A and B are shown apart, each in its own frame.
Chain A
Amino acid sequence: GQSLEQPSEVTAVEGAIVQINCTYQTSGFYGLSWYQQHDGGAPTFLSYNGLDGLEETGRFSSFLSRSDSYGYLLLQELQMKDSASYFCAVKGPGFQKLVFGTGTRLLVSP
């Protein structure tokens, strides 16, 4: 089976930097993705790591260590609109099947 664990909630202030961790246990590994979801909406893709290391996309960066079965999402220069839930996800083999982590609710305050 597959399981991905995340902290349930993280709080931060505007302009700060926050890191959301994800540890996973999978049978087979095909990359780690990160998604953002605002209340009532669909998940939106943020970042993907297929190999170890850091991927940077604007204010968001994601890191992966396959040997540690661990990754994180780094959000910089936080804005109020970043308040949302964030999910890590792993792909199953073949047809883009995604298994999501437990999710982290980020609350950004002024």
Chain B
Amino acid sequence: GAVVSQHPSWVICKSGTSVKIECRSLDFQATTMFWYRQFPKQSLMLMATSNEGSKATYEQGVEKDKFLINHASLTLSTLTVTSAHPEDSSFYICSAPGQLGNTIYFGEGSWLTVV
């Protein structure tokens, strides 16, 4: 079964509204999680590193005020797309390192459509 769960899988929102995506680690603690964005037929682009109990680290070119990341517990990180616009429509996916060596777990991903 999934070890990292993402919710919702699909979301449609109106332009100008905000939408929150959750990423949960199941049965293990994740002090660090990663958020990626993927446009159709393109690669996964790392947006930010989510750090439990501290501020997220954003990649160059990612607007921290638009993509709010909160990692308030050891099993939950949230990504909030604020004032969404149609160009924010994309596939958002999170990942978390496992507790053993090189293992990395991905969530199922969330499709965001802004209309």
Report A's interface with B, CB cutoff 8 A.
31, 40-45, 48, 87, 91, 95-103, 105
- A-B CB contacts (within 8 Å), total count: 47
Instruction: Say whether B44 faces chain A, with CB atoms less than 8 Å apart.
Output: yes
* Chain B residues with CB under 8 A of A87: 43-44
Q: How far is the CB of A75 from chain B (nearest CB, A)?
A: 19
Instruction: Say whether B56 faces chain A, with CB atoms less than 8 Å apart.
Output: no
Q: How far is the CB of B39 from chain A (nearest CB, A)?
A: 11
| A100 touching B43, Cβ below 8 Å | yes
Which secondary structure dominates where chain B touches chain A? strand
Stretch at the interface among B62-70, B82-90, B104-112: B104-112
State in angstroms the CA–CA spacing of A102 and B106 once bound together. Answer: 18
Interface residues of B in 17-57 (CB under 8 A from A): 32, 34, 36, 41-46, 49
| A42 touching B43, Cβ below 8 Å | no
State in angstroms the CA–CA spacing of A48 and B41 once bound together. Answer: 24
* Chain A residues with CB under 8 A of B111: 40
Q: How far is the CB of B44 from chain A (nearest CB, A)?
A: 5
15 A-B pairs (CB sep. < 8 Å): A40-B91, A42-B93, A43-B44, A43-B93, A43-B106, A44-B106, A87-B44, A91-B102, A96-B104, A97-B34, A98-B34, A98-B46, A98-B95, A100-B43, A105-B41
| A103 touching B104, Cβ below 8 Å | no
Report B's interface with A, CB cutoff 8 A.
32, 34, 36, 41-46, 49, 91, 93, 95, 97, 102, 104, 106-109, 111
* Chain A residues with CB under 8 A of B36: 100
CB-based nearest B residue for A95:
B32
| B109 touching A42, Cβ below 8 Å | yes
Q: How far is the CB of B92 from chain A (nearest CB, A)?
A: 11
Q: How far is the CB of B109 from chain A (nearest CB, A)?
A: 5
State in angstroms the CA–CA spacing of A103 and B44 once bound together. Answer: 9
CB-based nearest B residue for A101:
B43
State in angstroms the CA–CA spacing of A45 and B103 once bound together. Answer: 9
CB-based nearest A residue for B93:
A42
| B42 touching A97, Cβ below 8 Å | no
